[in-house]
Structure formats: structure tokens, C-alpha cells
């Protein structure tokens, strides 16, 4: 299946993206069929070849979720925006769930120390 997606180009810390048509199984930075435009996230500049994008969509190419939202903003296609990403689950949350029993053991340990201190005070009297 053909995909219309962003391909990262540019220097380190100065990213720019090409809007390309490529086979969906290929790497995003790999071989592509055609360049349909570009996007510069630093200056927010977007340039798209509207007629070529419509041509590829008519041939069955599907845009990625981010590209879909860009094309909606540019007025090239119509519809509703798609959620393009969701934050990853933090590994700390998983660890907290498994470490709850450990905290209970730690909580009981200070109580034992207090009992030991009280017995020492009684011995000195």
C-alpha cells in the first residue's frame, strides 16, 4: 500500500521534512516514488503540491495521521482531524505497582527500630 508521509532530512538540530509517496513497507527515510512538498518545523513553513497529492490519493495512497492533519489545515482534503500520537507509558508507573509490597516492608522496619530504642532506654534506668 502506498503511504504519503514525512521523511526527515536536514542537519542535526535543524530538522526539515519532505512529504513523500512511498511503499508503506519501506523505511520512512528510504526509497520513495515522488516528493510532494516539504515542511520546516522551525519556521512553520509548509509547501505542498496540491494537484500531485490529490492524484496520489485518487490512486489509493493513504496519508499518515500527521500528514492528514497538515492536509486538512491546508484545505487540500476535507474531513476531521485524526489523533496523531499519544504519550508513551512511563516505566516508573509499572515499577511503582510492583514495588508497593516493598514499601510496606520498609514501613514496618522503622517501627522495629523505635521498639529497640525504647528497650535500651528502659535498660539504662
CATH of residue 38's domain is: 3.30.1320.10
- What pTM does this model have? 0.65
* Sign of the C-alpha dihedral computed for residues 60, 65, 70 and 76 taken in this order: positive
Q: How many separate domains does the chain show?
A: 2
Residues 59 and 94 in one domain: no
The answer as to whether 83 is a domain residue is no
Give the pLDDT of the chain (125 residues) as one tens digit per residue: 899 999 999 999 999 999 999 988 888 788 889 999 999 999 999 999 999 999 999 999 999 999 999 999 999 989 898 888 888 888 765 556 655 555 555 555 555 555 566 555 555 55
What separation in angstroms does the CA of 25 have from each of 21, 53, 104, 117? 12, 20, 49, 68
Q: Alpha-carbon distance 16 to 106, whole Å?
A: 51
- Domain residues for the domain of 10 are 2-74
Domain shared by 9 and 61, yes or no: yes
Amino acid at each position: 500500500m502506498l503511504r504519503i508521509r514525512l521523511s526527515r532530512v536536514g542537519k542535526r538540530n535543524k530538522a526539515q521534512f519532505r512529504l513523500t509517496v512511498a511503499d508503506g513497507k519501506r523505511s520512512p527515510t528510504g526509497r520513495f516514488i515522488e516528493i510532494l512538498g516539504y515542511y520546516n518545523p522551525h519556521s512553520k513553513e509548509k509547501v505542498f503540491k496540491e494537484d500531485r497529492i490529490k492524484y496520489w490519493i485518487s490512486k489509493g495512497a493513504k496519508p499518515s495521521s500527521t500528514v492528514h492533519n497538515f492536509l486538512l489545515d491546508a484545505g487540500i482534503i476535507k474531513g476531521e482531524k485524526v489523533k496523531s500520537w499519544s504519550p508513551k507509558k512511563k516505566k516508573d508507573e509499572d515499577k511503582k505497582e510492583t514495588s508497593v509490597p516493598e514499601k510496606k516492608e520498609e514501613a514496618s522496619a522503622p517501627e522495629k527500630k523505635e521498639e529497640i530504642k525504647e528497650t535500651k532506654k528502659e535498660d539504662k534506668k
